[in-house]
Amino acid sequence: MNNLTIRPEFLIDDETQLRSLCGETTDSIWAKATTVITEPMQRFIAQSPFCCLSSQNAAGKADLSPRGDPPGFVTVANESTLLIPDRPGNRRYDTLRNVLQSPNVSLLFMIPGVSITLRVNGTAQISNDPELIAPFSMQGKLPKVVLLIHVEEAYGHCAKAILRSKLWDPAAMPSLETVPTLGDLMMHHRKAPAEEVAIVEGMIAKDLDDSMY
């Protein structure tokens, strides 16, 4: 694709054109969304150890952040509010900085081995209220802040993407030797020598041992 040519006459820039090409949304699809976290959704979240959290800054620049902990790490405070602990990370604070500028967020909940997902859209706030933080202690350590997600829309998403990707199929998983390491991803564009990459890999391993919580 090094010689990629983007032909403007084929770019879609109108919803009517899009629907003419790809088809209309059925009433049942619109009807599946709700404005609260229903009881089955609460059970799904309670069994989910992983979700992706999207946010954007005031200029509309988007970011997607993985979040994970033991199943049920996202707490359903009530049918309209979720609480997510902010665990130690890379200290870029991409999500938190975005929320300070623009509260709109989206969540995608996943359960290992389960092909359906749960999507939640809403707005977020950041809190360091000790009473909200206290339930999220792990290994004797508390998060500095929690995210409050105010739910505006929630719905289940079908299994097609997971099934197409064979995400949970062990036979489809690549050999780890072929997958770039985090050190590779961080250092290749900096043209770092192999010994420097090795040092970074060591620092990454130590951080996983020392600063999981």
Query: Distance between CA atoms of 85 and 69, rounded to whole angstroms?
Result: 9
pTM for the whole structure: 0.93
In the chain, % of residues over pLDDT 70: 100
| Fold of domain 27-165 | Pnp Oxidase; Chain A (2.30.110)
Mean pLDDT of 56-73: 97
Average pLDDT, whole number, for the chain?
Answer: 96
Mean pLDDT of 72-82: 97
pLDDT of residue 1: 59
Mean pLDDT of 102-129: 98
Sheet containing 62-68, strands listed edge to edge, beginning at the edge strand earlier in sequence: 62-68, 50-56, 104-110, 117-127, 146-157, 81-85, 75-78
pLDDT of 142 higher than 90:
yes
The tokens of 101 are what?
């500028």
pLDDT of residue 125: 98
pLDDT of residue 148: 98
CATH 2.30.110.10 domain range(s) in the chain: 27-165
Query: Distance between CA atoms of 141 and 134, rounded to whole angstroms?
Result: 10
Please give the C-alpha separations between residue 96 and each of 47, 66, 77, 181, 203, in angstroms, as whole numbers: 25, 13, 20, 26, 25
Q: What is the pLDDT of residues 6-63, one digit of tens each?
A: 999 999 999 999 999 999 999 999 999 999 999 999 999 999 999 999 999 999 999 9
pLDDT of residue 164: 97
Q: Could you tell me what percentage of the chain is helix, strand and coil, using 3-state DSSP and rounding each to the nearest 5?
A: 35, 25, 40
Burial 39-58 (b: 16+ CB within 10 A, else e): eebeebbeebbbbbbbbbee
